[in-house]
Structure 1
Amino acid sequence: MRYTTQMDAAKKGIITNEMKTVSEKEGIDVNRLRELVAKGRIVIPANKNHKNLSPEGVGEGLRTKINVNLGISKDCPDVEKELEKVRVALDMKAEAIMDLSSFGKTETFRRKLVEMSPAMIGTVPIYDAVGFYDKELQDITAEEFLKVVEKHARDGVDFVTIHAGINRETATTFKRNKRLTNIVSRGGSLMYAWMELNQQENPFYQYFDELLEICQEYDLTLSLGDALRPGSIHDATDASQIKELIILGELTLRAWEKNVQVMIEGPGHMAINEIPANIVLEKKLCHGAPFYVLGPIVTDVAPGYDHITSAIGGAIAASYGADFLCYVTPAEHLRLPTMEDMKEGIIASKIAAHAGDIAKNIKGAREWDHAMSRARQQLNWEKMFQLAIDPEKARRYRAESQPEHEDSCTMCGKMCSMRNMNKVMEGKNINLLREDA
């Protein structure tokens, strides 16, 4: 039996090779997985032209995945430098990489990225449109916007961020409800500007059915962008954000009718206490579609440390049901991330994702922590390094400060609680002062 997309196959009762791979990775029954894909609660972004993809599932009952944003810009156009970041991100087991390139040889970078990456690849086609056509934003036509999406799909990207929820209706809501930071989404601000300059409807909203046809042809997953995500805690959970979320829920149902897979993107900057309610709202208004969040960044006053503010919010969001975390680096709001910025952002996001998985009782999450605890109790340093989220840093810290006694560290020495409890539990004496202890 033939099928067009993973969702189409799932609805027809077909178990695809991609479903089998995800089932094995997650330890979930493949028939249960298929049912959730059919319902739209799990997506498997897998473009037909991404030949070396190792598929991942995003959604209900699965491990929380992380995404790494990379790409060239006008100020930093070095393709090879960004590709080296890609190699490191893949070595660090990032499940997704988003190409946010906005200048220069975007096609070259994107094609190399797809060719080399077993991780799923995402893009934001509107970023590419200005450079692709060498036109000012106002002069790009609706048809041309759609052609850029098709170009990215043909190149093999697995999901695209499309800001279809900021239509004339949501723009009116935005104008009526003043914000402290207006529209901070880059793609959202470009789409709003295009609508205002041309006094026309958002092309991605107006021609949503044509967009779905492209998605069907390549099995391209839609990541419905949050153009009106809050860029400050002041603007969180306001009328503009919620109005757009309602529209995204309506678009989700339209996409599912055409068997197109959908993720919903979410905030943004947000106080800790608002995060649980936002997860409930998204899941309710968008019918259980997987939720893909940037952060949330829980305070606005920590430039240089936003990998931490984001990890705090990401852990809370994941624990309440967010499915996919977009990493944030220390360079957020300040510059294009360096290699070290990227590494720190990946580790922070992986910690947040795993913390959320523990709370969600995802299969294997707690067992990982239990294994680490056993290694600590046994003072098995090599095992601890192997189990660490960042083995390289753990090994380096240990090597930089060698203890007098191998079964301790330089923090506690012979007063190490693990060391002494092991001795006591074995019926041995504890000598803290003598050299022979």
Structure 2
Amino acid sequence: MRKEWIKKRSGKTRTQMYYAKQGIITEEMEYIAKKENLSAELIRSEVARGRLIIPANINHTHLEPMAIGRVTKTKVNSNIGASALASDIEEEVKKLKTSVKYGADTVMDLSAGAKNMDEIREAIIAASPVPIGTVPMYQIIDEIKDVEKLTYDDILRVLEKQAKQGVSYFTIHAGLLLRHMPLVAKRKMGIVSRGGSLTASWMLKHHKENPFYTIFDEILDICRRYDVSLSLGDSLRPGCLYDASDEAQLEELKTLGELTLKAWDKDVQVMIEGPGHVPINEIERNVRLEQIYCHEAPFYVLGPLVLDIGAGYDHIGSAIGAAMAAWYGVSMLCYVTPKEHLGLPNEKDVREGMMAYKIAAHSADIARKIPHARDRDDAMSDARYHFDWNRQFELALDPERAREFHDETLPQEVFKEAEFCSMCGPKFCSYKVTQDAMKQFNWDEFKKEAMEKMKNEN
């Protein structure tokens, strides 16, 4: 499917947004519409409007198309990546496969300071059926070694290289401006974004405007050639509840809105990155402000974490905020693992983070009444009531974990057909007690009498 489509994408402008604006429904749009139970025309119109993006670099030839926007299901991103201290190509590919296995819709390669960064990324893209995102600043600094030596050409060279490799979206920290820097001084934790802090360091040392902001038009030209979407990064996202929703964060958000319009003028797809650490009572306001300042471009948030003291359990604390954020209007959630703030996640941590966030995303989709979002839950209810254990395992978000927990206390194969679990046993199982009672009761006659009584009362 992708090879046939690539032949059709010719000329200087190759983006999904370009074709959507021309009224053309691409094969990617058709595929997504069927997968999401939506009309292809709705997908096209939302892409043209900028409320939905299809991150699909033309060089990622075995990519399964997906979309990020409010009319589609809430998506979940998994962060992986090697560091100078841990991980290698084999480990990163393993993390990628674990991410995809447990439902990641996109994966970000956040390798920083690692050896063989190009080879790691090539291996990840080659093994991935989902879009891959990066923060190019990490490789830029790795190659030039000293942030002071950063040039505009360094930025464009690395972006072009990653685009050629097949990266489908870049996180670009272009919204942090010199005029925002005094606002950072009021914070408890300053700048916690890695890409943002590196960019700010260059700005302060050279007393010059953000280089990504200065050459934003040239960056757009690269994105347009390969159909790389932009994930406009929030350099000033709050790193603690104390800094949440402060002036620094919101002023940068307004700049991201200006950059969004510039990108759309060149038919480059955009989503906006968001916080961070936000108390429960401020989540809705954060989402509403993004929709206003950034013209309803898809919102992509990390968490948000709703408390600062959950170290070791931040995947839980942040999933609470993530479910609320998705309910209020966020289109994609960036997962948080138990290792957040503590260390580089391993394969086990990836699984835990993914499950926490698939629960958050699915819960929001049910609340939003996304078409067919609850079908699987209703089927699970039927399977539970009828003690169909294998069907329950099949429907669970994590079938292996469900089976593992069931078999932990009832390991014999005979209990796969048992009409109880180890929680209550056969004597106190409410399903079993109810079913036995109903067998001894003329349920049809009772229902008939009840309906007749209701009719008379009305």
State the TM-score, normalized to the length of structure 2. Answer: 0.91
Report how far residue 316 of structure 1 moved: 0.5
**CA displacement at 1:77 relative to structure 2:** 4.0
- Alignment of 1:107 with 2:115, yes or no, is no
Contact 2:89 2:123 in 1 (8 A): no
* Residues 1:423 and 2:432 aligned together: no
Q: Name the aligned partner's letter for residue 234 of structure 1.
A: Y
Deviation at 1:146, TM superposition (A): 2.1
Q: Deviations over 1:133-183 (max 9, x none)?
A: 3x30111112211221111111110001000000112224334xx111111
The answer to whether the 8 A contact 1:173-1:243 is kept is no
Q: Where has structure 1 moved over 6 Å in runs of 4 or more?
A: none
* Inter-partner Cα distance in structure 2 for 1:209 and 1:170: 21
CA contact (8 A) 1:321 1:360 kept: no
Other-structure match for 1:326: 334
1:360 aligns with 2:361: no
The answer to whether the 8 Å contact 1:53/1:118 transfers is: yes
Could you tell me which residue of structure 2 aligns to residue 211 of structure 1?
219
Bigger Rg over Cα: 2
Amino acid at match of 2:155: F
Aligned to 1:151: 161
- How do 1:37-436 residues align onto structure 2 when only pairs under 5 Å count? 37-103=47-113, 104-133=115-144, 135-175=145-185, 178-402=186-410, 406-413=418-425, 414-427=427-440
In structure 1, how many angstroms separate the alpha carbons of the residues matched to 2:30 and 2:385?
37
Report SS of the residue matched to 1:365.
coil
Equivalent pair of 2:98/2:350 in contact (CA under 8 Å)? no
Where structure 1 has 5 or more consecutive residues not aligned to the other structure, the ranges are 430-437
Shift of 1:191: 0.7
What RMSD in Å do the two structures reach over aligned CA positions? 1.5
Alpha-carbon distance in 1 for matches of 2:123, 2:18: 29
| 1:23 aligned to which of 10, 25, 33 | 33
Residue identity matched to 1:10: A
Contact 2:173–2:196 (Cα < 8 Å) also in 1: yes
Moved more, 230-239 or 141-150: 141-150
User: What fraction of aligned residue pairs are identical, expressed as a percent?
Assistant: 49
On the 8 A contact 1:40/1:261 being kept in 2, the answer is yes
d(CA) in 2 for partners of 1:9, 1:280: 29
Q: Is the 8 A contact 1:102 1:127 kept in 2?
A: yes
1:10 matches 2:20:
yes
Amino acid in the other structure paired with 2:118:
E
**Which residue of structure 1 lines up, in the alignment, with residue 46 of structure 2?**
36
Following TM superposition, by how much is the alpha carbon of 1:39 offset from its aligned partner in structure 2, in angstroms? 0.2
Provide Cα deviations, 1:95-129, integer angstroms capped at 9, x if missing partner. Answer: 11100011211100111111111111000000111
Distance 1:14 1:360 in 2: 29
Query: Per the alignment, in what secondary structure is the counterpart of residue 13 of structure 1?
Result: coil
Distance between the aligned counterparts of 1:218 and 1:303, measured in 2? 40
AA matched with 1:315: A
Residue-pair matches, total: 426
